[in-house]
């Protein structure tokens, strides 16, 4: 079973647009009537629900930001009475007060469907055993994929993140075939398996569904090689639903947005205007079928591109690229824009593992950039001249790709902190 819901996943553009228009119009009316913040925003920008007749009119609507959700904390954006809400999740993000989102039973059903689509797209069936090593709890990762895995009929293993030794025991003893966790935890599991002498290539494990944090194509290749699996991407965010907003198919060439439930726009972050397919911009999402927590034109701060080109898998949903960074994690070092993903690409292309940290500071008026990365275990040495030769070589490679000088510090394998959830790659001391 390659598709979970074949008809909608392969619907024509006209059919998709018709569904989107109908749901958008309804959502606008509903939130105008039920959410004071939206009513005020729309009134302030001179739009009324009757102005929105189809998705063509979406640009008339005001944006929503994370700050709006903080300002209405905890339940100010909910559009149904409390008695209809059957689940709450929350996200704190990297800074600031947490935000709370809610789901009706119908919302949870849709969430399970979209995660089931994601699992089916990577070839999972009810014959599979799925180890869910995303965190369970207020984070949407664990319970989100859990709902999809159960909906598809897979034997679902709700192990949550952490306790790596137990993860490896379960993986072997239960004959796990699909792993779900963050890519950085996937790498850590691979590394730990190797240390324990477990050859994951000999296990039934054959695919992984990784997301919740940025990862590069180079990291994908490493995970595939070290775990002996196919590694697929899955995207989502708490404000819109959780995991499953977009999902990769076997083509591994962009993530299909579940367009019957979410409208994606790519905008120029400065002007707020749409940019054409293939051009980079900020990703904006509207959730058009959610009951408890509908959201319109949410500015994700993720940067990506979309394409409407046909995908070889037969799905017609628009594809988004891996997010290439965030408008708020782009570092500006001496005036040059640097994304952590660029650093990761250079490291992995040069034989290093994705165990690194980027340290930014300011000496006097000058920004400093340092990349601490572990020696590849097989190249570990205590010879000072060799260490400085390797550091210089990597620093040159970084400079030529980033356009700004970086100091490289090679550190002992195993000393950069491992993550069981989202890895913390950047320490920017300038803001402290
Ligand atoms: O991370 C939901 C999720 C759980 C997605 C499990 C996939 C798998 P939040 O904690 O609200 O929700 O974080 C959302 O994480 O805006 C992106 O910046 C980042 N992100 C999520 N998926 C990906 C991905 C979950 N596949 C934020 N690639 C988003 C890159 C991702 N970044």
Residues 165 and 158: beta-carbon distance below 8 Å: no
Rg (Cα) of the chain, in Å, rounded?
Answer: 22
State what percent of residues in the chain have pLDDT above 90. Answer: 91
Residues 390 and 410: beta-carbon distance below 8 Å: yes
Give the mutation target among 208, 211, 220, 293 for probing the ligand 1 site: most ligand atoms within 8 A of CB: 211
Q: 271-312, pLDDT tens digit by residue?
A: 999 999 999 999 999 999 999 999 999 999 999 999 999 999
Atom of ligand 1 nearest to the CA of 233: 26
Q: 340-357, pLDDT tens digit by residue?
A: 999 999 999 999 999 999
Three-state DSSP state, 281: strand
Answer CATH for 1-327 from 3.10.150.10, 3.40.50.12780, 1.10.10.10, 3.40.50.720? 3.40.50.12780
Residue 1 pLDDT > 60, yes or no?
A: no
Give the mutation target among 212, 287, 323, 419 for probing the ligand 1 site: most ligand atoms within 8 A of CB: 212
CA 137 to CA 134: how far, in whole Å?
A: 10
Residue 93 pLDDT > 80, yes or no?
A: no
Predicted local distance difference test score (pLDDT) of residue 364 = 84
Predicted local distance difference test score (pLDDT) of residue 432 = 52
Atom of ligand 1 nearest to the CA of 239: 11
Give the mutation target among 237, 257, 325, 339 for probing the ligand 1 site: most ligand atoms within 8 A of CB: 237
Predicted local distance difference test score (pLDDT) of residue 289 = 98
Assess whether the region 1-327 and the region 331-428 belong to the same CATH fold.
no
Q: 161-215, pLDDT tens digit by residue?
A: 999 999 999 999 999 999 999 999 999 999 999 999 999 999 999 999 999 998 9
Tokens standing for residue 413: 């394998």
Say how many Å lie between the CA of residue 238 and the centre of ligand 1.
8
The pLDDT confidence band at residue 94, using thresholds 50, 70 and 90, is low
Residues 360 and 333: beta-carbon distance below 8 Å: yes
Residue 157 pLDDT > 60, yes or no?
A: yes
Predicted local distance difference test score (pLDDT) of residue 416 = 96
Provide the CATH topology of domain 331-428: GMP Synthetase; Chain A, domain 3 (3.30.300)
The pLDDT confidence band at residue 327, using thresholds 50, 70 and 90, is confident
Say how many Å lie between the CA of residue 220 and the centre of ligand 1.
16
Predicted local distance difference test score (pLDDT) of residue 96 = 63
Burial class (CB in 10 A: 0-12, 13-18, 19+), 198: middle
Atom of ligand 1 nearest to the CA of 139: 10
Tokens standing for residue 305: 């591109």
**344, 386, 391 from 379: Cα distances, Å:** 19, 10, 12
Ordered DSSP codes for 96-112: SS-EEEEE-HHHHHHHH
Give strand ranges (E) for 215-308. Answer: 230-237, 242-248, 255-257, 262-267, 281-287, 295-304, 306-307
Residue 226 pLDDT > 80, yes or no?
A: yes
Domain extents in the chain: 1-327, 331-428
Q: 10-31, pLDDT tens digit by residue?
A: 999 999 999 999 999 999 999 9
């Amino acid at each position: 079973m390659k598709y979970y819901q074949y008809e909608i996943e392969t619907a024509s553009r006209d059919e998709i647009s018709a569904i989107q228009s109908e749901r958008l119009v309804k959502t606008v009316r509903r939130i105008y009537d039920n959410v004071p913040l939206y009513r005020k925003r729309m009134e302030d920008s001179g739009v009324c629900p009757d102005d929105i007749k189809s998705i063509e009119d979406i640009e008339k609507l005001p944006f929503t930001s994370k700050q709006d959700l903080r300002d209405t904390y905890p339940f100010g954006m909910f559009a149904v009475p409390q008695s209809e809400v059957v689940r709450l999740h929350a996200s704190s993000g990297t800074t600031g007060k947490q935000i709370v989102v809610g789901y009706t039973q119908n919302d949870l059903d849709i969430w399970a469907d979209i995660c089931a689509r994601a699992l089916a797209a990577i070839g999972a069936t009810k014959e599979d055993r799925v180890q869910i090593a995303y965190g369970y709890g207020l984070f949407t990762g664990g319970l989100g994929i859990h709902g999809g895995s159960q909906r598809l009929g897979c034997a679902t293993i709700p192990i949550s993140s952490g306790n790596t030794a137990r993860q490896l025991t379960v993986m072997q003893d239960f004959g796990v075939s699909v792993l779900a966790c963050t890519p950085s935890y996937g790498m850590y599991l691979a590394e730990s398996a190797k240390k324990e002498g477990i050859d994951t290539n000999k296990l039934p494990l054959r695919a992984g569904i990784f997301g919740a944090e940025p990862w590069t194509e180079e990291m994908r290749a490493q995970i595939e090689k070290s775990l002996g699996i196919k590694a697929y991407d899955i995207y989502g965010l708490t404000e819109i639903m959780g995991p499953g907003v977009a999902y990769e198919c076997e083509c591994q060439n962009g993530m299909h947005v579940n367009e019957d439930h979410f409208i994606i726009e790519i905008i120029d972050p400065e002007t707020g205007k749409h940019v054409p397919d293939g051009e980079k911009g900020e990703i904006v999402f509207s959730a058009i079928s959610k009951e408890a927590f509908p959201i319109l034109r949410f500015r994700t701060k993720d940067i990506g591109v979309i394409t409407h080109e046909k995908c070889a898998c037969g799905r017609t949903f628009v594809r988004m690229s891996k997010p290439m960074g965030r408008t708020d994690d782009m570092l500006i070092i001496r005036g040059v824009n640097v994304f952590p993903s660029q650093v990761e690409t250079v490291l992995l292309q040069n034989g290093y593992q994705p165990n690194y940290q980027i340290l930014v500071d300011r000496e006097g008026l000058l920004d400093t950039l340092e990349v601490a990365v572990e020696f590849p275990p097989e190249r570990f040495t205590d010879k000072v001249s060799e260490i400085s030769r390797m550091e210089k070589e990597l620093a040159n490679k970084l400079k030529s790709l980033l356009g700004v000088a970086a100091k490289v510090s090679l550190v002992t394998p195993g000393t950069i902190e491992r993550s069981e959830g989202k890895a913390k790659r950047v320490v920017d001391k300038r803001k402290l």
